[in-house]
């Protein structure tokens, strides 16, 4: 089933990036080469769907840094070609960060990358950037659900709703999420989850990643 998930995700990812360059996955912070190899092995064996997605995004000209520094949460997009991920969230069995949530985190950061690639630096809004990233991750999660993996979509809807209710009113994330809930995609995603088999297949598609429309 994992092979089917990987094949499906790759096809979604590659459908819009036929000429994409390959990036790299590198250690950051104070990780030694041995620690880096151990983390990679752990993710490959214990978080295989997440790792498959990470490799596919890497292949879209994205440099991915795995860092043992904990700064500002599990992930951060930097410019047009770099994502930094905290190994703390990847290698610890945190109830608040199951694999499905880590998939959404990675999609969200990649959504920032796509937004940054489309907008000039002087034409970027923090709220618009967050909206694009949230919407992208929700849209891709919906495509995964249609292919049988509802876990990421369920996690996305739950976490996004909770954050919209508990976040600071002036936080760009909160503002963006409230906007997203007025977007037709939000209600469509709720209906999709309700009408989709909620069994978790453990397989991830390979045609999900695409440009923000």
CB atoms within 10 A of CB 197: 9
**Mean pLDDT value of segment 23-29:** 95
Model confidence at 47, pLDDT cuts 50, 70, 90, reads very high
Res 213 pLDDT > 50? no
pLDDT of residue 22: 83
Rounded distance between C-alpha atoms, residue 118 and residue 18, angstroms: 17
Domains of the chain: 2-195 (1.10.390)
CB under 8 Å, gap of 24 or more: what pairs does 193-196 form? 193/145, 193/150, 193/153, 193/154, 193/157, 196/145, 196/146, 196/150, 196/153
CA distances (Å), 63 to each of 48, 75, 76, 78, 155, in order?
Answer: 19, 13, 12, 10, 26
- The residues, any chain, with a CB within 8 Å of residue 123's CB and separated by 6 or more, are none
Close Cβ partners of 106 (under 8 Å, ≥ 6 residues apart): 50, 53, 54, 57, 75, 83, 85
Looking at 23-175, which runs of residues are DSSP E strands? Answer: 24-28, 63-67, 75-78, 82-86
What is the average pLDDT value for the chain, to the nearest integer? 87
Which pLDDT value is given to residue 3? 55
* First-residue to last-residue Cα distance in the chain: 30
Residues 53-84 have pLDDT tens digits of 999 999 999 999 999 988 779 999 999 999 99
pLDDT tens across 125-163, in order? 999 999 999 999 999 999 999 999 999 999 999 999 999
């Amino acid at each position: 089933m994992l092979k089917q998930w990987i094949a499906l995700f790759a096809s979604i990812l590659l459908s819009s990036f036929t000429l994409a360059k390959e990036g790299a996955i590198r250690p950051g912070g104070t990780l030694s080469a041995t620690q880096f190899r151990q983390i990679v092995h752990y993710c490959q064996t214990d978080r295989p769907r997440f790792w498959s997605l990470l490799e596919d995004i890497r292949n879209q000209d994205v440099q991915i840094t795995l860092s043992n520094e904990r700064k500002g949460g599990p992930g951060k997009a930097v410019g047009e070609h770099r994502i930094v991920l905290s190994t703390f969230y990847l290698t610890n069995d945190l109830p608040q960060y199951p694999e499905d949530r880590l998939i959404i985190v990675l999609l969200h950061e990649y959504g920032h990358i796509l937004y940054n690639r489309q907008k000039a630096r002087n034409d970027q809004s923090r709220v618009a950037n967050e909206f694009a990233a949230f919407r992208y991750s929700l849209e891709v999660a919906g495509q995964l659900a249609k292919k049988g993996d509802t876990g990421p979509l369920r996690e996305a809807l739950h976490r996004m709703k909770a954050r919209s209710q508990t976040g600071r009113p002036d936080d760009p994330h909160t503002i963006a999420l409230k906007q997203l809930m007025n977007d037709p995609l939000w209600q469509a995603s709720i209906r999709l989850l309700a009408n989709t088999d909620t069994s978790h297949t453990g397989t991830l598609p390979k045609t999900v990643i695409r440009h923000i429309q």
